Structure 1
């Protein structure tokens, strides 16, 4: 599959090279989710200042696009070769809390989701190189998703964002999907 080289400033997002179809999928998924979120919370967005609304929607776009980008061999391999970067990336992910704060609602539930996601992602990251990593991440993600609807004060749009945040950080990003010894589409031409 043909790839395009990614500018070095964007390696943390896309890795070093991506097939154009993957880039298109990442962007379209991110935009689709961000627009759907904006439409579903339009009264809330209209009630806050423009910069807060715009930043909240951009963070939702980043969460959604990251879900897809982190599954690509290029992004996966970039972080697999840089374990410290992966740990830093997990630690700085406060997006779900920032969205709640920017919109002025649901901060408590967002903090609960963030704390669970970061703790679980850290545990999964510590299993790097072990066969159990994917299984443990799947169990922790499933547990988190099962309890999302039970968190008091978490609105349906924020529950969707929270679910994508968990998927992005805990499973899509924290797991090395193409470990050494496993077939990798980027190494096998497909």
Structure 2
């Protein structure tokens, strides 16, 4: 697949170059899963003002797309070469908290998922360049997913969004999948 140069304002999402097919897959995954959530759980939007529902779905779309985008070589290497931007990216990820507020769901679960994800991502990020990074990232992700599924009272749509948020930030993003940090050193 031929890579195209990504405009600089989209580097944080797609990296510096990406194939059109990959971009389409990322957007299709995020769009289809977001649409599925809104169709399977239409009641999540009924009692809310339209703007809150739309904003919540946009944040959910971002979570879903990020799960896949962060696994691409271009996005992974873009952040691997930029340690400060990597830390900022981890720190600004409050999406799951905003989704919980916008959808008026139980904040305790959202805060727990968010805190675990950010703490795990910080730990995994400190392991860049070490052979244990993938293993520790996978271990923390597995513990987090297992713990999240044990939260029996969480709404199914929040369970899905929270689990994929964890995948996006803790493993898909925090792990240097292609050794980009070592290549730029």
TM-score bucket (shorter structure): over 0.9
Q: Secondary structure at the match of 2:147?
A: helix
The 5 A counterparts of 1:1-190 are 1-179=1-179
Cα deviation for residue 157 of structure 1 reads 1.3
CA spacing shift, 1:149–1:22, aligned 2, 3 Å: same
Cα distance between partner residues in 2 of 1:180 and 1:112: 31
Moved over 2 A (4+): 180-183
In angstroms, what is the RMSD of aligned CA positions? Answer: 1.5
CA spacing shift, 1:100–1:181, aligned 2, 3 Å: closer
Q: How many residues align?
A: 183
Task: Name stretches of at least 5 consecutive residues in structure 2 with no aligned partner.
Answer: none
CA spacing shift, 1:8–1:104, aligned 2, 3 Å: same
CA spacing shift, 1:181–1:103, aligned 2, 3 Å: closer
Cα deviation for residue 74 of structure 1 reads 0.5
Cα distance between partner residues in 2 of 1:160 and 1:122: 22
Which 10-residue stretch deviates more, 115-124 or 33-42?
Answer: 33-42
Cα deviation for residue 4 of structure 1 reads 1.2
Q: Does structure 1 retain, via aligned residues, the 8 Å contact 2:80–2:181?
A: no
Q: Does structure 2 retain, via aligned residues, the 8 Å contact 1:33–1:60?
A: no
CA spacing shift, 1:15–1:41, aligned 2, 3 Å: same
Task: Name stretches of at least 5 consecutive residues in structure 1 with no aligned partner.
Answer: 184-190
